[in-house]
Amino acid sequence: MGKWKSEAEAREEIKNLVAEYYHRFKEQKKDFEPGDRVSYASRVFDEKEMLSLTDATLDFWLTTGRFADEFEKKFAEWIGVKRAYLVNSGSSANLLAFMTLTAPELGERQIKRGDEVITVACGFPTTVTPILQYGAVPVFLDVTVPEYNIDVSRLEDALSEKTKAVMIAHTLGNPFNLEVIKKFCDKHHLWLIEDNCDALGSRYTIDGETRFTGTFGDIGTSSFYPPHHMTMGEGGCVYTNDSKLGRLILSYRDWGRDCICPSGQDNFCKHRFSGQYGQLPKGYDHKYTYSHFGYNLKVTDMQAAVGVEQLKKFPRFIEKRKANWAFLKEALSDIEGLILPEAAKNADPSWFGFLLSVKEESGVKRNDLTAFLEKANIQTRLLFSGNLIKHPCFDQIRGTDAYRVVGELKNTDYIMEHSFWIGVYPGMTKEMLQYMVDKIHEGMRECKKK
């Protein structure tokens, strides 16, 4: 019982043991050999994340706390926004971003049921799910190849008197045409939500000004799921420069409360029992007054503690992703049967993956090639939903007025049939990258014989 003189001393000994544990049992020591598993993504960490997590665990503050506060502040400073709010996932971040725009405080710009939101069907479903679940109408446009982002030439065709917003993702780190879309949104007084979950660290330049993606729109979102650019396990973030939107984001995230008092703090606002709200009696506890139909989407401090250390490593992660992507682009450029990805104009992508499309005239089927690579222990992924409206979740609303399609989704369907991607995460070595290159060359030859 008398071993430690103080809590600080006890913590230090525990953390020394955790560091020793990491170096002995978790640190990567084995060199890659051809045939070893090549994942499309993986967390990259060292003892510092484990030590920060240990600190938070010993605090035993089980909800949002000091580490979350630190992360929100440093993340906002890094990405270049005034306000950032942690949530429990990237999907929750998209839900929160959209629901914020349904707040009555926004007046004539409030998104109401039946209003339309321009988006794409080629992407991850949770960019679209909040729109449908609320009762708004997604309006789907096609995408371009080989950028794999929204076809901005059809924006005006998609516009109607009901259009209130544009909500789309930057595909696998490649920014969509922010210059055109920002002008379109400004011209028609539309909200812009940037789903930045696959593009954290990407940059874009408009009129000589370069900024991180996620900061051009009214609201940006990020995901910190383990395969993403940085991780805290589960986790996400919603960010904005608009003070009113920031206040609404916080309310919807924290049960829909009207009160701004942080968790565990009472009467921070100094008028907990003095206000008059709705039809409640005067003086009703402001901490339990709800101005919105909200949620509890907060992150735990343990997750945030991991994120604090990941953020310090993040600039290195970005550069490694870029270098890995460039290696693959050069090494696969001699294969005529593949369409290789291209960075968008005015963009400096922080790549999430390397996207390939198998040409129809190549004599190779995408599924045969991905099966060949998976057999060689190389993990592959399709471009998420391919065409979302062809999934079972649309069975009960297909062909109804719950959504609109503008034009034909020809490229979307092409991607659904012919495209896949492989990883570029920062833990990849040159040996792993070269193994993938060799196997893709071999696979294109072998699958053509079928």
| Residue ranges making up the domain that contains 331 | 314-448
In the predicted structure, residue 1 carries a pLDDT above the cut 90:
no
> For residue range 250-304, what is the model confidence (pLDDT) as tens digits?
999 999 999 887 777 788 878 899 999 999 999 999 999 999 999 999 999 999 9
> For residue range 236-251, what is the model confidence (pLDDT) as tens digits?
999 999 999 999 999 9
Are residue 126 and residue 259 in the same domain, yes or no? yes
Could you give the percent of the chain with pLDDT greater than 90? 94
Are residue 249 and residue 347 in the same domain, yes or no? no
Of 303, 327, 346, the domain-final residue: 303
Alpha-carbon distance 210 to 179, whole Å? Answer: 11
Catalytic residue, from 170, 228, 229, 418: name it: 228
In the predicted structure, residue 2 carries a pLDDT above the cut 70:
no
CATH number, domain with residue 140:
3.40.640.10
pTM of the full predicted structure? 0.96
CATH number, domain with residue 426:
3.90.1150.10
**Catalytic residue status for 228:** yes
Alpha-carbon distance 370 to 96, whole Å? Answer: 35
Are residue 110 and residue 237 in the same domain, yes or no? yes
The residue that leads in pLDDT, 220 or 450, is 220
Are residue 130 and residue 242 in the same domain, yes or no? yes
Mean pLDDT over 414-419 rounds to 98
Alpha-carbon distance 106 to 340, whole Å? Answer: 43
| pLDDT on residue 414 | 98
Q: Is residue 342 part of a domain?
A: yes
Are residue 170 and residue 273 in the same domain, yes or no? yes
Q: Is residue 107 part of a domain?
A: yes
Of 303, 326, 350, the domain-final residue: 303
CB neighbour class for 385 (10 Å; exposed up to 12, middle 13-18, buried from 19)? buried
Are residue 415 and residue 338 in the same domain, yes or no? yes
Average pLDDT, the chain: 96
Structurally, how many domains does the chain consist of? Answer: 2
Other Cβ atoms less than 10 A from the Cβ of 209: the count is: 8
Could you give the percent of the chain with pLDDT greater than 70? 100
Are residue 299 and residue 360 in the same domain, yes or no? no
Are residue 233 and residue 104 in the same domain, yes or no? yes
Are residue 232 and residue 206 in the same domain, yes or no? yes
By three-state DSSP, how is residue 150 classified? strand
In the sheet where 83-87 sits, what is the strand order? 83-87, 236-240, 219-223, 191-195, 163-169, 116-120, 137-141, 404-405
Of 273, 303, 333, the domain-final residue: 303
Q: Is residue 338 part of a domain?
A: yes
Q: Is residue 244 part of a domain?
A: yes
Are residue 75 and residue 126 in the same domain, yes or no? yes
